[in-house]
Amino acid sequence: MTIAIDIRSLSGGAYTGVGEYTRNLLKYMIPLDPGIRFKLFFNAHGSKPDLSFLDGFGNIEPYIFRYPNKYFSARTRFLNSPKIDKLIAGCDVFFSPHFISAPVGKNCKKVTTFHDLSFERYPEFFDIRRKLWHFSNNPKRQAQEADRIIAVSGSTAYDLSDIYGVDSGKINIVYSGITEDFFREHTREELWHVRAKYKLPERFILSLSTIEPRKNILGTVKAFELFKQSNRAGSDPARLDDCKLVIAGRPGWLYKETFEAIKKSKWREDIRYIDFVEDEDKPALYKLAELFVYPSIYEGFGFPVLEAMASGTPVITSACSSLPEVVEDAALMADPFNISDIAWTMEEVVRDKNLASFLRGKGLVQARKFSWQKCAEETLKILIS
């Protein structure tokens, strides 16, 4: 059997979430059956994918093309050509880890992964460039034309049926995984290195994501302000007063309001923005945090909460979209639109050591339910069925 996989998401150095999904699936799925030929399709005019992590596997065949991206994308989106299975000399099934346009012939089965439909649920959270990208790739058509769809959560599966009218019978829910890096113990020297590298305070609440409206970092900032001025009975002022907020992540789009709120905050001296965090530093960053706060308004899966739980960090997240599926009873959940609710849960965890310890233990157990090995095995079953 021959399976083709679209690896265009592996272009460049720093991978997006789809890139990490693709990379981990390749790493764990290709060794599962040496008898299956995997053809890896890639196109980019000025770059090539780093496939060194697949060295030693004899059942892969990379097909690297150099067509100008704008030209190639326009043809696939609007002319439905070229047929990619023809470009790579045929395959039994073509797997797209994302709904990017990838036309195939009638005799080639197509499986597509959908990570979320946030752009449909909350279009106001996207700038014009991203709206145009989604429009031109026509995700509704991609969903309807796929023979099988992999949804990364029950929430995403529901949205596919509810918004696009996709038959639920062709949707399979396969949860993504998490790497062992987040579970491993770190030495004091490793933790000290990350603390010094990013100039982290002694005690801090962490927010880590791309700075964009859907992630609700503005809500986190406002909740932190309420948290700092809290004098609720039973609170230990010392445990609140010396706790800072660290916001990590690259600016994405429509981020100016968030930075303006930080600049104008009464507590701006207690808020530190550290921009991009190297992947190898993320596990230690989570471990150093006293609490991870992620009141996202919509998530197709929610990697950050899983990473934080695997790192042994208490988590507060939203009681909406896929996030309750991921955390179950291992995190505190708040209404992302209720700033007081977020602030109250922040205070509960920071002031109550027993609660924090309980959440650490529950989080570690919950995170172990998700693995790339399991994800790869379930994905391969769908591809060969």
Cα separation, 312 vs 302, in Å, equals: 16
Helix pair angle (17-29, 372-384), 10° resolution: 80
From residue 8, alpha-carbon distances to 15, 60, 63, 301 in Å are 11, 16, 11, 21
Strand order in the sheet with 171-173: 60-65, 37-43, 2-6, 93-96, 109-114, 148-151, 171-173
Cα separation, 215 vs 316, in Å, equals: 13
Architecture of domain 180-367: 3-Layer(aba) Sandwich (3.40)
Tokens of 95: 């797997």
Cα separation, 93 vs 39, in Å, equals: 10
Q: What pLDDT does residue 373 have?
A: 97
Q: What pLDDT does residue 233 have?
A: 43
Do the domains at 2-177+371-384 and 180-367 have one common CATH topology?
Answer: yes
Cα separation, 51 vs 28, in Å, equals: 13
Per-residue pLDDT of the chain in tens (385 residues, 90 and over written 9): 999 999 999 986 556 789 999 999 999 999 999 999 999 999 998 888 999 999 999 999 999 999 998 899 999 998 999 999 999 999 999 999 999 999 999 999 999 999 999 999 999 999 999 999 999 899 999 999 999 999 999 999 999 999 999 999 999 999 999 999 999 999 999 999 999 999 999 999 999 999 999 999 999 999 999 999 875 544 565 567 789 999 999 999 899 999 999 999 999 999 999 999 999 999 999 999 999 999 999 999 999 999 999 999 999 999 999 999 999 999 999 999 999 999 999 999 999 999 999 999 999 999 999 999 999 999 999 999 9
3-state secondary structure of 377: helix
Q: Which CATH superfamily is domain 2-177+371-384 in?
A: Glycogen Phosphorylase B; (3.40.50.2000)
- pTM to 2 decimals? 0.93
Say whether the peptide bond before residue 62 is cis (omega within 30 degrees of 0): no
- Domain boundaries of the chain, sorted by first residue: 2-177+371-384, 180-367
CB-CB neighbours of 82 under 10 Å:
15
